[in-house]
Structure 1
Amino acid sequence: MIYRKQFLKDTTITAAGIFCVLLAVLVFTQGINLLGRAADGRVAAEAVAALIGFWTLGMTPLLLVLTAYISILTVLTRYWRDSEMAVWLACGLGLRQWLRPISAFTLPLAVLAAVLQLAVLPQAERHSREYADILKHKQNLSLVESGVFRELGKKNGRVYFVEHFDAEAGKMQRLFLRESRPDGGDSVIFARSGHFDLRDNVRTLVLEQGYRYTGAAGRGDFEQISFDQLRLALNSPHKPAETAHRRTLPTAELLRNPAPQYRAELMWRVSLPISLLLLGWLALPLSYVDTRSGQSYHVIIASLFFLVYQNGLTLLRDMVEDGKIPFLAGLLPMHLLMGGCVWLLLRMRSMPAMPFGRALRQALPWARPPK
């Protein structure tokens, strides 16, 4: 049909523009956030671009939901303003006949969102965490500056001071290092020189020609040990950070694991593609505009529906995660509620000339047909 082709053309062009705008805004916002964290040392500077890419990929399913909803709402609103929908209804055709072209537009996006949610994003999340952890780890261990006290790793309260550092040769001259011991004492090391060594993915600080003092201040029990070479392991063989996090687990493993947090993650992965389809249908009755009033209250109502839908899914996911409700009790209610709203609003908007209250009463399933 001609109207289907025109609708798909209009929504595709509109969706492309909306997706680009939303993506640009989100990437710019997240980029500023990551740059600020990199400036504070919480994120490795080299990882900013890669983390923006991983974060953008993770946000793509939600962007697809928003894009489909806004583009359908925008195009159909224009049809109502241009009286095309009024002509459609005057010809004896119903709004339900628009569900097929809307589904033809939203179904590929829902399939894409499902593939991303169920297969691609868990792997991307795992690689993102590994990459950020490795770069942050290397940055903390390799950031050496002459004449400045710095932390060495995140354990034992290690603090070091280097009087002179040759960046090209990687050699440090006249080092001071202090660390806390498990028994409450301190260990202080003075060395003539030193350098970092990396073998089997284990970072080691090699100190040469120095002394080590161990003991507790005020007890008078310090011990002095001289050494020609002392090797301090700064980390164990590196393991990817949080590889068992629920967001990094494959969907097949979530299906096999009955733990509440994994059930909640599975519910969220399944919910977004379903919500994309339902919001596409919901945009059809919400796009109605009374051309004589010139008001745009439908935009506010459409925004409220989206917020209620997404916040409701988030609330139910948290309840599933806490073990308060089972998986199906978290997955089904909001989708059934939105499906019921689609059915009810379609019946109402098929009677645009009728006042809102009367149209609502007539749309209810138990309402009597007008005499």
Structure 2
Amino acid sequence: MIVFRYLSREVLLAFSAVSAVLLVIIMSGRFIKYLAQAAQGMLDPGVLLLIMGYRIPGFLQLILPLGLFLGILLAYGRLYLESEMTVLTATGMSEQRLLSYTLVPAFFIALVCAWLSFVLTPQGVQNVAQILNEQDALTEFDTLVPGRFQAMRDGSRVTYAQELSGGRDELRSVFISEKRDVRKPSDKEEGITVLVAQSGRQEIQEDGSRYLVLHDGYRYDGTPGDADYRVIHYDTYGVLLPKPEIEVKMGERETMRTAELLGSDQPRMQSELQWRLSIPLLVLIVTLIAVPLSRVNPRQGRFLKLLPAILLYMAYLALLVAARSALDKGRIPVAVGLWPVHGVFLLIGLLLVYWQPMRLKLAQRRAQKESQNA
């Protein structure tokens, strides 16, 4: 029991450290992407942390198997390097017993991954989809930042306001540049409309339609590089704003509950179900692979087998993704699905586990035969 606790602690410490580093790296990249969208006015900065919180389960369900795989390699590699594993082997610790000890914490990590995959990740994806759809329905006033030029409508409109009231309905020193189409007898050329105003106000009508009403400004219509342009001075100018429409996509397979996937015969739904089942199964199989791969010679160094092990893991994950894509397109029968990939790497793990004992037994038999012949 003391040896089991010691080995489990070493594995869990390495697993926690690797998983934390991977989570920070992945979340940093995703947060930078969302932050850039917020800077462009596509997202409200207030929902960034909420979105990241809902995305954490989806990140963790892919990070935890890799974290456990690397944690076993690093923890046991250190024990082999410092000859601690040699001492344990001399006291009767076989590789099969080492594997059984390692499978206990791996089983609990697999349960956590199953909970993430079956419950938390679909809920998180659904919440993120709802937030993003609500963000798409926001008007320019909801995401406008005073003193900053912001691109709207995929870059076709640029809006600037020097000041913005607390209720986000009044603007000061407004600048709006929007692309438009100018039709000429010969062809169709792109033009620009520029609106400048001393102030502006958002007005909501009884039917829910929204207008941007500008006061005391100019409108410029023309084509860049062309001297033919038009200038209009106005006291009041009204612009109809798109009416927000919230449309949350509830039918996406990533947001569906696992119970709903179980009752579906569609290949795409079965593909999603098998993918969710593959996450906890992946944890157990990579544990089976990692334990024999962690065996290193102290003279060879701790990281000798780390790169081949990572490549083997990447091949496993890449084959799962390719099989999932083929299952989505109907190239693989649903009954076959992703299971052959798991079967192949399960066989690889069993071969790695029993290859060394088989070699030792064969070597002992050869030595006995040679001694008898002598």
Tell me if both proteins adopt one fold, taking TM over 0.5 as the criterion.
yes
How far apart are the structure 2 equivalents of 1:249 and 1:328? 21
Contact 2:203–2:212 (Cα < 8 Å) also in 1: yes
**Deviation for aligned residue 1:315:** 0.5
**Deviation for aligned residue 1:142:** 3.6
1:51 and 2:51 equivalent? yes
Q: Tell me the amino acid that sits aligned with residue 331 of structure 1.
A: L
**Deviation for aligned residue 1:264:** 1.7
1:238 and 2:209 equivalent? no
How far apart are the structure 1 equivalents of 2:22 and 2:345? 24
Contact 1:19–1:63 (Cα < 8 Å) also in 2: yes
Residue 218 of structure 1 corresponds to: none
Runs of 5+ unmatched residues, structure 2: 181-192, 216-237, 370-374
Contact 1:10–1:75 (Cα < 8 Å) also in 2: yes
**Deviation for aligned residue 1:285:** 0.5
Give the alignment of 1:269-348 within 5 angstroms. Answer: 269-294=276-301, 296-348=303-355
Aligned CA distance change for structure 1 residues 79 and 350 (closer, same or farther; 3 Å): farther
Contact 2:158–2:178 (Cα < 8 Å) also in 1: yes
Aligned CA distance change for structure 1 residues 151 and 139 (closer, same or farther; 3 Å): same
Q: Tell me the amino acid that sits aligned with residue 119 of structure 2.
A: A
Aligned CA distance change for structure 1 residues 260 and 205 (closer, same or farther; 3 Å): farther
Aligned CA distance change for structure 1 residues 149 and 353 (closer, same or farther; 3 Å): closer
How far apart are the structure 2 equivalents of 1:311 and 1:147? 46
1:81-135 Cα shifts (integer Å, max 9, x gaps):
2333334444555311122211111111111110111111111111111112213
Further displaced range: 133-142 or 332-341? 133-142
Give the alignment of 1:108-119 within 5 angstroms. Answer: 108-119=108-119
Residue 41 of structure 1 corresponds to: 41
1:241-292 Cα shifts (integer Å, max 9, x gaps):
x322211111111222222222221121111110011111211110111223
1:296-333 Cα shifts (integer Å, max 9, x gaps):
33111211111111001000000011111123422211
Residue 167 of structure 1 corresponds to: 165
Residue 223 of structure 1 corresponds to: none
TM-score when scaled to structure 1? 0.73
Q: Secondary structure at the match of 1:330?
A: coil
Q: Tell me the amino acid that sits aligned with residue 211 of structure 2.
A: L
How far apart are the structure 2 equivalents of 1:335 and 1:281? 12
How far apart are the structure 2 equivalents of 1:109 and 1:171? 53
Contact 1:64–1:113 (Cα < 8 Å) also in 2: yes
Residue 62 of structure 1 corresponds to: 62
1:206-225 Cα shifts (integer Å, max 9, x gaps):
8799xxxxxxxxxxxxxxxx
Give the alignment of 1:216-255 within 5 angstroms. Answer: 234-235=242-243, 237-240=245-248, 242-255=249-262
Q: Percent identity, please.
A: 23
How far apart are the structure 1 equivalents of 2:51 and 2:266? 29
Residue 107 of structure 2 corresponds to: 107
How far apart are the structure 2 equivalents of 1:28 and 1:178? 34
Contact 2:107–2:284 (Cα < 8 Å) also in 1: yes
Q: Tell me the amino acid that sits aligned with residue 64 of structure 1.
A: L
Contact 1:175–1:194 (Cα < 8 Å) also in 2: no
Aligned CA distance change for structure 1 residues 162 and 44 (closer, same or farther; 3 Å): closer
Residue 20 of structure 1 corresponds to: 20
Give the alignment of 1:134-283 within 5 angstroms. Answer: 134-140=134-140, 142=142, 167=165, 170-171=169-170, 195-197=202-204, 204-205=210-211, 234-235=242-243, 237-240=245-248, 242-283=249-290
TM-score when scaled to structure 2? 0.73
Aligned CA distance change for structure 1 residues 207 and 102 (closer, same or farther; 3 Å): same
How far apart are the structure 2 equivalents of 1:306 and 1:109? 17
1:350 and 2:348 equivalent? no
**Deviation for aligned residue 1:18:** 2.0
Runs of 5+ unmatched residues, structure 1: 181-187, 210-229, 363-367
How far apart are the structure 1 equivalents of 2:160 and 2:40? 22
**Deviation for aligned residue 1:29:** 2.2
Aligned CA distance change for structure 1 residues 178 and 305 (closer, same or farther; 3 Å): closer
Aligned CA distance change for structure 1 residues 152 and 5 (closer, same or farther; 3 Å): closer
**Deviation for aligned residue 1:50:** 2.0
Contact 2:201–2:213 (Cα < 8 Å) also in 1: yes
